[in-house]
Structure 1
Amino acid sequence: MSKSEQINPRCLKRDPYPLWLFFGFVFIWGWLAFEPHYRSDWLLENILVFIAVPVLGWIWYWGNISRLAWSCIFLFLVFHEIGSHYTYSEVPYDLWWQKLFGFSLDQSLGFERNQYDRWVHFLYGLLILPLVAELMERLFPLDSCLRWLIPVMIIMSHSSLYELIEWLSVEVFGDELGQAYLGAQGDIWDAQKDMALALMGALIACVVCFMKRQFAKP
């Protein structure tokens, strides 16, 4: 059999489902890229997306990632794009809530600031960890605590790195653009709270993934 006729075994592992999610994300991305509230902030927010999408494509090429993990990635990217369209500190989620349910979510919970950025930091830990855990399973195939500890540590390191990037953006781009990207809204503990929420989301996802694996055992 010639090389052109040989089948790459990895091709058999590629699920078309992530491709449909990708096309759906491209549509949503294009829609939200149209006239964002603050174009410069939108560009800054999307630098990480431009880096992440090729990496995710490479991961898809190598296969063996569950549809659950891909769905989580898709949801996180959609929430991120909503934040980049409005800027995170100005997403009118409370107005949407009031139109749907007739009362203010922020007032009911006693929030004094826009909480959308906090919500997305929590979702980062919750929705990104399944993919990280599945990748780590390849490196630690045995039932080791490292399989669960390292994904949580990776989420925390990413969260810390992102907070450093936000700080540098203020130093490099100045008050208006830097503050829009930072989104602290006057909270001096914003970075610590964001990292804590990412950790909380990662721990919840870690427990869910562990329980799912235990129930899946024969």
Structure 2
Amino acid sequence: METDRRHRRYLLTLVGVFLLIWGALAINPLNRHDWLLENLLVLGLAAALLLGHKHYVPSRSAGTLIFLYLCIHQLGAHYTYANVPYDDWWQALTGESLNEQMGWDRNQFDRLAHFSYGLLLAFPIREVLIRLGLRPGIWSLVLPVDIVLSTSAVYELIEWLGAEMLDGGLGRTFLATQNDRWDPQKDMALATVGAIIAMLVTAFAVRPRRDL
């Protein structure tokens, strides 16, 4: 019972810290309309966790991973993904341009966010599948990767439809392709690579316990 209380206290602490971060980043975002659109994802995830809390309460690991991903997403929502000033922050810290050092000619924060989607959420997805009755085994490692890839594809379709329905400026901001015609494919690929890495780490971590 004490363990359950500590666990719930930890998750509530994560929720409280996230709400503080969300509130701070909700102040004067670069584009309020884009911020509202991006926060539909947060609203959907929060609704799913609240509606399903009787059947699924994230473990500490899963809760922490979800928290980290949502923080990355909120940073992108505040600045718009194509304008997160990470290169300015890096120059202030080191005196060098990260983009120049890496040979990048575009803002790469959206790539980080898509990679993080797979890397940070594949484990919570696996945990949900196991709670729903999927036996630990090879499919518990394959299906999260499949779900990350398929949901990434659905999100890219939503972005495309949203950009078509919105006016030109807001549509381009929401789509955030930065004139890269292969942007959707690269985003999906990065999310999938992140999920594969997460599942390989999970397989290595649980094998000693014979709970693959």
Equivalenced residue count is 208
Partner residue, 1:176: 169
Task: Report the CA distance between 1:101 and its aligned residue.
Answer: 1.9
1:149 aligns with 2:138: no
Partner residue, 1:3: none
Q: Show the 5 A alignment for 1:117-196.
A: 117-138=110-131, 139-143=133-137, 145-196=138-189
Q: Show the 5 A alignment for 1:16-35.
A: 16-35=9-28
Partner residue, 1:89: 82
**Normalising by structure 1, what TM-score?**
0.89
Amino acid at match of 1:204: I
1:22 and 1:176 mapped to 2: Cα distance?
33
Is this contact kept in 1: 2:56–2:128, CA < 8 A? no
Task: Report the CA distance between 1:15 and its aligned residue.
Answer: 2.6
Change (3 A) 1:13 1:35: closer
1:135 and 1:63 mapped to 2: Cα distance?
7
Q: Greater Rg, structure 1 or structure 2?
A: 1
Structure 2 residue runs of 5 or longer lacking an equivalent are: none
2:176 and 2:117 mapped to 1: Cα distance?
16
Amino acid at match of 2:143: I
Partner residue, 1:202: 195
Task: Report the CA distance between 1:59 and its aligned residue.
Answer: 4.5
**Identity of counterpart residues, as a percentage?**
43
**Normalising by structure 2, what TM-score?**
0.92
Task: Report the CA distance between 1:147 and its aligned residue.
Answer: 1.1
2:103 and 2:208 mapped to 1: Cα distance?
39
Q: Show the 5 A alignment for 1:12-51.
A: 15-51=8-44
Is this contact kept in 2: 1:122–1:201, CA < 8 A? yes
Task: Report the CA distance between 1:217 and its aligned residue.
Answer: 3.9
Amino acid at match of 1:186: N
Task: Report the CA distance between 1:48 and its aligned residue.
Answer: 1.3
RMSD over aligned Cα atoms: 1.9
Deviation sequence 1:113-171 (CA, Å, 0-9, x none): 0000001000000000110011122322243x221111111111110011001101111
Amino acid at match of 1:148: L
2:14 and 2:144 mapped to 1: Cα distance?
23
